[in-house]
Structure 1
């Protein structure tokens, strides 16, 4: 069949489709007999079969169309644009395809990939749901949907989607790896570890798999096994900087001269001219900072910390003005009168306990202490409060950053619904029948009015640590994600100052609603501070809270190994050897540094 005849036949089939689906199907099948790679003919057959009520056959025809798309010049061009990261070109081509045929499943899936690459995960999800609806057997679309769920922190849904995908393709290592990672985010550690054990058996030379396995072992407290997994990964790929940083991030091991030499050699190999190795370089710099700190060479340590921070800062492009603007907006929109007017709204459930503050301020220690109580369950750092707040801003104001204005405009029933959404979203994290559970996301301090108004029955504990110890600890910490403020001394100081400014406002307009734990006071008088915390939470004192280090619960944060030891002062004054380099930090902190542990004036 010549090309012209092929096009005419397609046009005739489309004409028949509206009133004569059986004839359209016959025409489409005739085209397929001659041109089996005609994706358009397979889609027409799917349309006709649906019109005839033959849904199973229609879905199969849609899948045949996907397979035939690899021969379609337009789809090849769109795929090439995707591969070359020419996303506007790919999007324009795919939208053109879908204007001609909204059921082109291959084009729908590729357009979802475009949306995902630019962070429009909601759009990607809708597109993939449509693709799966048209072709339930389209495994690539289901796998993409699982990834989109994961990117949106909807880990239980990701696991469910991956179960379906793995049912059809049980030996796919990428799907098993993503499932293990998702299980780790909802507390399914045993199953995740079993998956990693199987994957590392199948792929013993895959360094990143061994690293992920090491992360999970670390989380459940199997430190020796974790170190062994990291060392195995390094034997496979000694230049993978993230593995060196993973060892450093255990906090409890000391690097020796051989380790330093190996890292310096890897850093030379990851030359600055090789942009693809930027992540290796920054991880190696952070790990070498720890290594030289172990050796007491503080000048070399600071040089490496500064280099790693500079790389990460350039990648993230943090602007401290954004945080300051949010704090300003909260103070302006939520005076005492606004809180009073909205009192009684929100979901009244008392279950959540929020432990917040800056990272590296002792929040994991507080969580571990509280999670040792018989009435309190520890979970992990949950992403749900920021996600709900930012979604509110995006939906109500067209800009996630405007969530403060959107929150101020909400009626009481909407506040209660948001509270119920948080409780529903976090239910998957609860593995016991204990009445209370902890959300230990430090960054929740910036969403305090959201918490107070949507969950007025929740308790809030502010973990605060000496500004120089806290900020220095952040500067030498590379975080797996987020915490963009932490990669510059001035930025960290400004962030800490805005945090104290907002907490002072909340103390003034909502007195007694937030219980503050000064880290140094907790070290000096553990029992007194623990009793005060439990009294605030209205639960009785239990000795187990003082023996928190015996609690074998899983801990995901950078402090996981530190909180498995009795209270100690190892982290106090760690900034002092670096005092000569901290003037930018001190200047940014300003009066906050002088006033600690008191509260400075709001008008700073």
Structure 2
């Protein structure tokens, strides 16, 4: 366009913006003139969309907004930013997008790109806010709504994600990627059969999708349809022999034994040109399990070590943060503080929410916590749910934004809370977890192992809730974590030294609470539970105030969804087979033993009654 024409369009846009403040009808007429003269003017289409919204003509407004987006993506600057995003050159993309949005804050295409950038660096809350702003400006922008659903899912907001996905489906019909996300969100809410049906529908339409076969396998495994799950994983591998996560998913069933042919196929997959580190590390973990099944400890450990090495390079983990959290927790949660309640100067009734519903099972992953959960979920008064993310999410909010001096406000912030604030936190937890309840049983289980770090918070906000500490021999538990690749979280678990330090911190903090609030936590020693189940289960039920029920001894007959790595093991009777497996690897566990030190000799540590 000639400079004169550009000047004329610019003047018209400025005039249209002034009109928009006072007369949307005149602003719409001005905008129509602009887009007739300059059909590629994103600003003109945006002006028209805004004017039509104010006039209540939503259908035409949506059309104008989508035309504005289509014109924006042809902007040379945004094309450069898009190229930078494709190349994962985030600094370049940000350097282009920030000034662009400062000049054109309602450019929805640019807002969506900035949201993608924020999501890439883990600022999911910022990404959500940006996408909501984009949809406020252009409600029909389906790509932004699909992005929002993904960001909500990644923030453990499956209900909100499903709402966005349902709206997309209502407006444009079912789309494969969105149905796949919807199935995953349904699974997160415990609607497993509905998720399985949806995965099946997707695969009927697109049967050559290995990752969807793998997700389908995950869901089948969760509900105990083991053979179908294995077949789904095998189908994924047949379609993509180097898909490491599918191999690991198969190995992670624990009860599946991978054969020599599988080992050869995985070794060949490791030689695939351009194999990603993600596939490579999953293959190493799967090969470790396969060689372990063959009794080849040296080869198994070599693969486990390489898988851990690769995974450790991908994650940020600072062990000193746990040390500092434990130090501050011990300083805050003294015996007097726990007895009196936060902010009290003298003993008084505890201030938190009095609901007795939750049973928290804490400890380390791979400590036998899923077994304890399965036993309790076999009781007619107790509902098993899963590893609920709600308490950690509340803790992240209490910690405050990282910008505040880089120091978490949690747990110290609890000292200034009165009873009303603590009761509100307890009520929030109960409300957040209500979506996971499927029965009318009076008690439910929250089996998030890492909640050991938040026992003090639980005591304050839910003082009548029960806390069970599932503990396993430190070397057995430590090695079991080392050979486990976790789908998410557990950043401590990819180094023997860091596993040992984490275990020490856990034992130290639990020892503190044993002294500060005797009887608050009931400890289940895994080895004792395996050797003497009836007595240990009776003691556990007595602590919980529940009558003994023989179904708890027949826990392996209980049909329920189990999402953890122990899902298949807890569907079988108790066995001593896994108690001493770590001893075959003792020659390579020196770093773990060195950090644990006297913790090994002190095990099992049970508080005095």
Misfit runs of 4+, over 6 Å:
none
**Map of 1:185-584 to 2, 5 A cutoff?**
185-269=188-272, 274=274, 277-342=276-341, 344-394=350-400, 398=404, 401-584=408-591
* Structure 1 pair 388–104 and aligned structure 2 pair: CA distance change class (3 A): same
Root-mean-square deviation (Å): 1.9
* Aligned partner of residue 314 in structure 2, secondary structure: helix
Cα offset, 1:307, TM superposition? 0.7
Q: Residue in 1 aligned with 2:346?
A: none
Structure 2 contact 523–606 (Cα < 8 Å) conserved: no
**Map of 1:45-124 to 2, 5 A cutoff?**
45-124=48-127
In 1: Cα distance, 2:369 partner to 2:467 partner: 12
Structure 2 contact 73–109 (Cα < 8 Å) conserved: no
Cα offset, 1:428, TM superposition? 0.6
In 2: Cα distance, 1:25 partner to 1:160 partner: 32
* Structure 1 pair 238–397 and aligned structure 2 pair: CA distance change class (3 A): closer
Cα offset, 1:19, TM superposition? 3.5
* Aligned partner of residue 432 in structure 2, secondary structure: helix
Once the two structures are overlaid, the 10-residue window that deviates more, 105-114 or 283-292, is: 105-114
* Aligned partner of residue 204 in structure 1, secondary structure: coil
In 1: Cα distance, 2:314 partner to 2:83 partner: 26
* Aligned partner of residue 34 in structure 2, secondary structure: helix
Structure 1 contact 346–454 (Cα < 8 Å) conserved: yes
Cα offset, 1:137, TM superposition? 1.7
In 2: Cα distance, 1:380 partner to 1:400 partner: 31
In 1: Cα distance, 2:403 partner to 2:72 partner: 40
* Structure 1 pair 432–397 and aligned structure 2 pair: CA distance change class (3 A): farther
Cα offset, 1:408, TM superposition? 2.7
In 2: Cα distance, 1:37 partner to 1:374 partner: 66
In 1: Cα distance, 2:60 partner to 2:352 partner: 49
Once the two structures are overlaid, the 10-residue window that deviates more, 31-40 or 400-409, is: 400-409
Cα offset, 1:122, TM superposition? 1.9
* Aligned partner of residue 317 in structure 2, secondary structure: coil
In 2: Cα distance, 1:16 partner to 1:318 partner: 54
In 2: Cα distance, 1:6 partner to 1:484 partner: 55
Once the two structures are overlaid, the 10-residue window that deviates more, 359-368 or 393-402, is: 393-402
In 2: Cα distance, 1:377 partner to 1:141 partner: 38
TM-score (norm 2): 0.94
In 2: Cα distance, 1:165 partner to 1:51 partner: 24
In 2: Cα distance, 1:477 partner to 1:58 partner: 52
* Aligned partner of residue 77 in structure 1, secondary structure: helix
* Aligned partner of residue 409 in structure 2, secondary structure: helix
Structure 1 contact 397–406 (Cα < 8 Å) conserved: no
Listed one character per residue, the Cα deviations across residues 245-268 of structure 1 (whole Å, up to 9, x for unaligned) are: 111100001111111111111112
* Aligned partner of residue 356 in structure 1, secondary structure: strand
In 1: Cα distance, 2:597 partner to 2:591 partner: 10
Cα offset, 1:52, TM superposition? 4.0
Cα offset, 1:50, TM superposition? 3.9
In 1: Cα distance, 2:101 partner to 2:559 partner: 53
Structure 1 contact 391–400 (Cα < 8 Å) conserved: no
In 1: Cα distance, 2:47 partner to 2:398 partner: 41
Structure 1 contact 384–422 (Cα < 8 Å) conserved: yes
Cα offset, 1:422, TM superposition? 1.1
In 2: Cα distance, 1:16 partner to 1:107 partner: 25
Cα offset, 1:396, TM superposition? 9.8
In 2: Cα distance, 1:269 partner to 1:76 partner: 33
* Structure 1 pair 106–189 and aligned structure 2 pair: CA distance change class (3 A): same
In 1: Cα distance, 2:403 partner to 2:32 partner: 50
In 1: Cα distance, 2:607 partner to 2:361 partner: 22
TM-score (norm 1): 0.95
* Structure 1 pair 211–145 and aligned structure 2 pair: CA distance change class (3 A): same
Listed one character per residue, the Cα deviations across residues 309-328 of structure 1 (whole Å, up to 9, x for unaligned) are: 11111211422222111111
In 1: Cα distance, 2:337 partner to 2:63 partner: 58
Structure 1 contact 375–435 (Cα < 8 Å) conserved: yes
In 2: Cα distance, 1:53 partner to 1:564 partner: 58
* Structure 1 pair 396–375 and aligned structure 2 pair: CA distance change class (3 A): farther
* Aligned partner of residue 544 in structure 1, secondary structure: helix
Cα offset, 1:369, TM superposition? 0.5
Q: Residue in 2 aligned with 1:155?
A: 158
Once the two structures are overlaid, the 10-residue window that deviates more, 328-337 or 498-507, is: 328-337
Cα offset, 1:78, TM superposition? 2.7
Cα offset, 1:301, TM superposition? 0.8
In 2: Cα distance, 1:211 partner to 1:54 partner: 45
Once the two structures are overlaid, the 10-residue window that deviates more, 137-146 or 396-405, is: 396-405
Cα offset, 1:92, TM superposition? 4.3
Structure 1 contact 219–554 (Cα < 8 Å) conserved: yes
Cα offset, 1:280, TM superposition? 1.1
Structure 2 contact 357–443 (Cα < 8 Å) conserved: yes
* Aligned partner of residue 575 in structure 1, secondary structure: helix
Once the two structures are overlaid, the 10-residue window that deviates more, 456-465 or 401-410, is: 401-410
Structure 1 contact 380–440 (Cα < 8 Å) conserved: yes
